[in-house]
């Protein structure tokens, strides 16, 4: 073991623990300026209206999973697996979980990190693709909570072990389903309002980078397409939408193999939206094979990816934020990219 005590802060969205938590969780979500880009008085009103109107249907969906979100238990498994991997590498490391819109909040975790006596801190969002609405919002909340400064990992959209883990999940699910032919592989990511991307958020570009790295590892005869799910509100969102892509695949007579390519844990968007709602849609449209690859969870390759990111960050403490390759990977037009270092790789 080294003499360093390394605190790894894992960031994710969070989710309600039970039915009574659903409405306040939604209020927290829609109060975030990164989500609702309006002045505070407007956000206050909008968050109250949306949370109240969406709470009943959201409670029904969470009831399908036992009443609350599985995201925190799933993230705890990832934290334990990461600690074990770091321990195996001779590091004294402890992972702390900071959720953005429900407990444990960043403010709750700061005191735990300080009490543990960390000598170095790595801020590691469980969002492989950077967005102002996810990673940036979480890092901001950590800073506002007075969290100890550390080096943050902004993104890792095409890290080899991460990509290979997705490929294994997809091929394994396809093999378990009997290897149907005429496959259209849908890589489903959480959507964003188009205006957010047009303002300079690199999320969509990074999702495309993930897909570009993944496609060569999949059978050549598969068609591979990106789609976006979980749209809310009246604004135009980036597309194509996952439901429209499912309907198009059905009309083309395709077997559908679907991967939650931007989600690293099972939660409401995968267990309800993909497994129930979109499955029903596919069946209603006559799809004979609807196969959903699991989220990465504690896949060994994914946990190794996280451990590698921690190791690389510890070896590169010269800047407050780094990508999986150190320097900036986003082209210059994506102005919301937080990495201002010289490019470490040639961006497409």
pLDDT at 266: 98
Closest alpha carbon to 154 in 332, 313, 40, 22: 313
Are 294 and 303 spatial neighbours (Cβ–Cβ below 8 Å)? no
Supply the DSSP symbol for 267: -
Structure tokens at 150: 């550390």
Which residue in 320, 186, 172 sits closest to 245, CA to CA? 186
Cα separation of 233 and 26, whole Å?
13
What pLDDT score was predicted for residue 347? 36
Task: List pLDDT tens digits, range 233-277.
Answer: 888 999 999 999 999 999 999 999 999 999 999 999 999 999 999
- For the domain 160-292, what is the CATH code? 3.40.50.1400
Give the Cα separation of 184 and 205 in Å (integer).
21
Residue 245 to residue 272: CA distance in whole angstroms: 18
Q: Write the burial class of residue 155 (CB in 10 Å: 0-12 exposed, 13-18 middle, 19+ buried).
A: buried
Mean pLDDT (the chain) is 96
Q: Do 50 and 94 form a contact (C-beta atoms < 8 A)?
A: no
3 state DSSP class of 269 = helix
> Is the pLDDT score of 117 beyond 70?
yes
Domain ranges (residues) in the chain: 19-63, 160-292
CB atoms under 10 Å from CB of 229, counted, come to: 24
User: Looking at residue 342, what is its pLDDT?
Assistant: 62
What token pair was written down for 111?
């005191």
User: Exposure of 170 by Cβ count < 10 A (0-12 exposed, 13-18 middle, 19+ buried)?
Assistant: buried
pLDDT at 240: 98
Q: Quick check: helix, strand or coil at residue 179?
A: coil
Residue 42 has pLDDT above 60, yes or no: yes
Q: How far apart are the first and last CA of the chain?
A: 40
**Cα–Cα distance list, 182 to 185, 218, 337 (Å):** 10, 14, 38
- Polymer length in residues for the chain: 348
The answer to whether residue 297 scores a pLDDT higher than 80 is: yes
The structure's pTM equals 0.95
Give percent helix, percent strand, percent coil of the chain, each to the nearest 5: 45, 15, 40
């Amino acid at each position: 073991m080294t003499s360093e005590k390394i605190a790894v802060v894992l960031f994710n969205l969070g989710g309600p623990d039970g039915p009574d938590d659903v409405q306040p969780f939604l209020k927290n979500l829609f109060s975030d300026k990164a989500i609702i880009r309006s002045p505070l008085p407007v956000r206050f009103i909008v968050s109250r209206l949306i949370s109240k109107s969406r709470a009943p249907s959201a409670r029904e969906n969470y009831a399908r999973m036992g009443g609350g979100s599985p995201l925190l238990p799933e993230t705890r498994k990832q934290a334990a697996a990461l600690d074990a991997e770091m321990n195996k590498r001779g590091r004294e490391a402890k992972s702390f979980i900071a959720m953005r819109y429900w407990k444990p909040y960043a403010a709750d975790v700061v005191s735990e990190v300080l009490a543990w006596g960390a000598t170095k801190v790595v801020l590691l969002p469980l969002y492989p693709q950077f967005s102002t609405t996810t990673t940036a919002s979480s890092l901001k909340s950590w800073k506002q909570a007075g969290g100890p400064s550390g080096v943050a990992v902004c993104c890792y959209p095409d890290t080899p072990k991460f990509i290979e883990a997705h490929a294994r999940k997809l091929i394994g699910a396809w093999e378990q389903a009997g290897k149907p032919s005429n496959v259209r592989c849908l890589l489903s990511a959480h959507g964003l309002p188009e205006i957010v991307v047009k303002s300079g958020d690199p999320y969509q570009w990074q999702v495309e980078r993930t897909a570009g790295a993944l496609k060569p590892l999949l059978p050549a005869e598969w068609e591979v397409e990106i789609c976006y799910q979980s749209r809310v509100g009246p604004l135009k969102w980036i597309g194509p939408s996952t439901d429209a892509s499912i309907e198009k695949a059905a009309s083309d007579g395709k077997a559908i193999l679907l991967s939650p390519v931007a989600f690293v844990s099972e939660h409401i968007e995968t267990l309800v939206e993909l497994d129930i709602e979109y499955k029903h849609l596919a069946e209603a449209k006559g799809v004979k094979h609807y196969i959903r690859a699991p989220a990465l969870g504690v896949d060994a390759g994914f946990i190794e990816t996280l451990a590698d990111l921690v190791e690389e960050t510890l070896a590169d403490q010269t800047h407050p934020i780094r990508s999986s390759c150190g320097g900036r990977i986003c082209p210059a037009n994506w102005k919301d990219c937080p990495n201002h270092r010289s490019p470490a790789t040639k961006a497409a």
